[in-house]
Amino acid sequence: MVSKDELEYNALNAAISQSSRSDYLSRVNEALQSIMIRSARFNNTADGTIYFRVDANSNKAVACVVTIDKR
């Protein structure tokens, strides 16, 4: 998660853990729904760096869940 303002890690972690959603991405979305910038555009560079662009609005956080295939 990236935010303009400091995030309450313990509160967010508790909200994610207590969510009744079935998968982690849905739990994160539910926990951040009031502060999430939904118009974020993600991209990556050739070396694997992830970046995003957002339009300014009253919301303040962007979340990115990365899945790693361990094969």
pLDDT tens figures, 10-49 = 999 999 999 999 999 999 999 988 888 888 888 989 998 9
Reduced to 3 states (helix: H, G, I; strand: E, B; else coil), residue 56 is coil
Q: Is residue 53 part of a domain?
A: yes
pLDDT of 55 over the 90 cut: no
- Residue 9's CB: how many other CB atoms inside 10 A? 9
Structure tokens at 52: 């995003």
Integer Cα distance of 8 and 11 in angstroms = 5
Q: Does the residue 42 lie in any domain?
A: yes
Helix (H) or strand (E) run with residue 2 in it = strand 2-3
8: in domain: yes
Which structural domain range is residue 53 located in?
2-62
Is 68 domain-assigned?
no
Three-class SS state of 3: strand
Residue 67 placed within a domain: no
Total number of domains in the chain: 1
**Residue 67 pLDDT exceeds 80:** yes
CA–CA separation, 46 vs 22, rounded Å? 33
The answer to whether residue 69 sits within a structural domain is no
What pLDDT, on the 0 to 100 scale, is given for residue 20? 93
